Amino acid sequence: MAGQLSPIDKAKYAAARRAIDFVENGMRVGLGTGSTAAWMVRCLGTRVREGGLKITAVATSTRTAELARQVGIDVVELDEAGWLDLTIDGADEFDPELALIKGGGGALLQEKIVATASDRMIVITDIAKEVSVLGRFPLPVEVIPFGWKATRALIEETLAGLDVLGHEVTLRMDGDAPFRTDEGNLILDLALMRIGNPRQVSLVLNQIPGIVENGLFIDICDMVVIGNGDGRVELREAGTGKITHDQVDFAEADNLFRDLDA
Ligand code: 5RP
């Protein structure tokens, strides 16, 4: 069954499957957004339905909330759950310090709020997202619709004084219309190419009126779980830099893969 999946989906599944081993009974868990996080939600759903796992789950987008409910996970609002034990989410890029770019799926605001309201954040990814310096992936920035062109102009002016290589700012589209976040905001994608000082860029961007939040996640991620298409996973811890290796067995996911095919 797993043979029908692409190597990249297998890698995403492997990372997701290994990461949910950190979820324990009774935990309050943040559920990330994106294709890798979707594997994690499906895997958790299997444990809830078939293994009797009891968790309080908080989703980082309406998409994730819908998927979670479909696979049997009850979802509550963050304010109802209070502080979370663990958030598991994907990322668009990670660097050696486990700083991240997120927001490729447009959910960066809720993702950042949920991750920072958690004791621990685990990022699930494949090796293609590892970079030595952040910036290859355009940095998503969420802005309010009011006066967004003025906000964009201020961003462009600000970027000229920062240690970044590119300065192009693009309004994200969804077909013919601007993409809207769950909060009804817009996303500007900043093609920075190389972000010399992510901490500074993040702080400076968030000073600009109109910007709600940016997709740089610094000192938030505690561990990255990197999946491979052959089931190998690498776990890297922030701070200690400790690295461990493991292997995920695809056979146990046959039901899950079959359900997706159906
Ligand atoms: C959504 C995100 C996602 O985590 C990120 O885009 C990675 O997505 P995928 O797992 O589909 O590659 O930040 O806002």
User: Nearest to residue 94, comparing CAs of 205, 237, 190?
Assistant: 237
Ligand 1 center from residue 105 Cα (angstroms): 5
Annotated active-site residue 111? The verdict is yes
Ligand 1 atom nearest to CA at 35: 11
Q: List where CATH 3.40.50.1360 sits in the chain.
A: 2-129+219-256
DSSP letters spanning 108-162: HHHHHHHHHTEEEEEEEEEGGGB-SSS-SSPEEEEE-STTHHHHHHHHHHHHTTS
Ligand 1 center from residue 36 Cα (angstroms): 7
Sequence letter at residue 3: G
CATH topology of domain 139-216: Alpha-Beta Plaits (3.30.70)
Ligand 1 center from residue 92 Cα (angstroms): 6
What is the SS3 assignment for 181? coil
pLDDT category of residue 261 using cuts at 50, 70 and 90: low
CATH 3.40.50.1360 fits 2-129+219-256, yes or no: yes
Give the pair of three-digit tokens for residue 242: 């400790």
Q: Lowest mean pLDDT: which of 2-16, 111-125, 182-196?
A: 2-16
Per-residue pLDDT at 4: 80
Mean per-residue pLDDT of the chain? 96
Catalytic residue among 24, 50, 111, 213: 111
Count of C-beta atoms within a 10 Å radius of residue 96:
11
Write out pLDDT tens, residues 206-246.
Answer: 999 999 999 999 999 999 999 999 999 999 999 999 999 99
Give yes or no for residue 1 having a pLDDT over 60. Answer: no
Ligand 1 atom nearest to CA at 102: 13
Write out pLDDT tens, residues 154-213.
Answer: 999 999 999 999 999 999 999 999 999 999 999 999 999 999 999 999 999 999 999 999
Q: Lowest mean pLDDT: which of 52-61, 90-99, 116-125, 252-261?
A: 252-261
Q: List where CATH 3.30.70.260 sits in the chain.
A: 139-216
Q: Which protein residue has the closest C-alpha to ligand 1 atom 10?
A: 36
Ligand 1 atom nearest to CA at 37: 10
Mean predicted confidence (pLDDT) in 73-82: 98
Per-residue pLDDT at 262: 59
